[in-house]
Chain A
Amino acid sequence: MSETPQELRYTDTHEWARLDPDGTVCVGISDFAQDALGDVVFIELPETGTEVAAGAEVAVIESVKAASDIYSPISGEVVRVNSDLVEEPDLVNSEPYEGGWIFVVQPLNDDQMADLLTAEQYQEFCESEDHDH
């Protein structure tokens, strides 16, 4: 069973989002998603300064047999990217919620986190997806 930390918010495209004390939002992909992808071999990171809208494609993550887009959970500006992933893309597999974070967004406005899924809602969503397949 994959981990779904309670304190994070999620999307139906399998990103997680964490509101940090400085008001920025850190984004990665869920344990469920990294497991489905398999060994990650490359992540195409966005450039800092990029303006993103909620639901827009921001990054691309590749495993040997799959590639998927990573969408920004919220609108704002990309202020940091995880450059460790250039050398160690497998951090996304080994620690999806810590060292495997992908980018940080300065939100355009507050309250956007409330639109995202809670851990429970996301877990339910993953179970229903699992049944479809």
Chain B
Amino acid sequence: MLQSIGVANIDELFDEIPDSVPVANFRSIEHSLTEMEMMQRLSERAREDELSLCFLGAGSYDHHIPAAVWDLATRGEFLTAYTPYQAEASQGTLQLLYEFQTMMASLASLDVANASLYDGGSGLGEAILMAVRSNRSAHSRKIVIGGAVNPFYVKTANTLVRNQGIELVQVPHDNGLFDPLQCDVDDPSAVVVQQPNFYGLLENVDAISNWAAERKALLIAVVNPLTLAVLKPPGEWGASGADISCGDGQPLGVPMASGGPSFGFLCSKMKHVRQMPGRIVGRTLDANGDVGYTLTLQAREQHIRRAKATSNICTNQGLLVTAATIYMSIMGVAGLRHTASRCHENTNYLVAQLEATGRAQRAFSSPYFHECVIRCAGNVDALTKTMISDHGILAGYPLGDIDPTLEDCLLLCATERRTREEIDLFVELFSRILKES
């Protein structure tokens, strides 16, 4: 090979790098490991972090994933393919994305969905940018964040939008809910509401949707896609429906995996599609008149529109979308409905049993879906610590850090995976630890 190139050694191939740039020094990097040695090291670390039971949600949920989902998603043909720019060599991925777009748009009861964004938090940022571009009648560039929207999402969105002169105006929750009457922003570009909200509560989405429409603000619905099998979808809220819906796809067959990779999804009414960021697949015909699939509306994207693109996003979360599409196919409407309703019933049972101990009560009285804020008679930080250290149980999310009025509160969730026995054990430990503290 060197002979063909016409050099004496490999070093010569780097002769255009000026001598004034020092040679890299990698002495601090250790010597190579075999696959076996690498696995031994990382297995030890993975085992170190294993816990037995999870009652924590707050944006990431411990659901069952059918075995077939990841067996299929990690076939080399899905796992090691590139972005489907060469459509004829990527029909598998493209058709899958078209099916995904159909499922997501239908779950949200909106017209279109893109092929994914990074996660729920950055997805909210993109949804806000999209709304500001799309709502040409509003000039304030102010976005109303209604009540209990996931605070991690809001922080993330703020990082993404604040340098474009967009201001997020947080309206504090009222008994856990968004009350638009407490909002004093005239002419907002968009209103963001989450259903179920961060505290698990069901917002009065019809009234909020109508309120936003009266102000010519676009409505952005942050939703948990699993719950859409049971709850009224954003496209059907109020008189005209939400304009944009976004959220995190983790509940659809994606392991919690420390929060990533999962995927952000984005759906909207057709009239906003040209402002949508990210890839979109369309069905078309080939030279023979047969059906085929291709990326479309690419003139929105950075590789064509450059500085004026709808977003800089390029790589997205394709593999996770692959898993979610397979998950939704296997589960179907019945599977999703039953899973979602089972989560609701399990959380109901958990809350009832906790309240029966006399050491816990609900912080808010309105209906919740599959998460609930529980006020505890005792120190919640000590409780969660003991639960992990002594029992390997994640006992909910202490809310004091994000809302000082909820210092003695935990956000709890019991998914379909939690058995009655596990819930009973948790309640017993909960009661005992609080009693001893």
Contacts and interface: CB of A to CB of B under 8 A. Distances in A.
Complex contact flag A–B (Cβ < 8 Å): yes
Contact of A64 (B136, B298, B308): B298
Contacts of A66: 299, 304
Contacts of A67: 299-300, 304-305, 308
A133 interface: no
Chain B at the A interface: mostly helix, strand, loop or mixed? helix
Size class of the contact patch on chain A? 10 to 19
A29 to B, nearest CB: 15
A42 B136 contact: no
B420 interface: no
A127 B298 CA distance: 29
Interface in B361-388: none
Pairs A-B, 10 closest by C-beta atoms? A67-B299, A62-B299, A67-B305, A67-B304, A66-B304, A65-B304, A44-B274, A66-B299, A64-B298, A42-B274
- Residue of B274, B299, B300, B304 with highest tally of chain A CB at under 10 A: B299
Interface string B286-308: 00000000000011100011001
B136 A47 contact: yes
Interface of A: 41-42, 44, 47, 62-67, 69
A42 B274 CA distance: 10
B336 to A, nearest CB: 35
A108 B87 CA distance: 49
A3 to B, nearest CB: 25
Contacts of A44: 274
Contacts of A41: 299
Given A67-B300, A67-B304, A67-B305, 8 more contacts: A41-B299, A42-B299, A47-B136, A65-B299, A65-B304, A66-B299, A67-B308, A69-B308
Nearest to B137: A47
- Residue of A44, A47, A64 with highest tally of chain B CB at under 10 A: A64
Interface in B127-157: 136
Contacts of A69: 308
B299 A64 contact: yes
B136 A63 contact: no
B292 to A, nearest CB: 15
A47 to B, nearest CB: 7
A66 B301 CA distance: 10
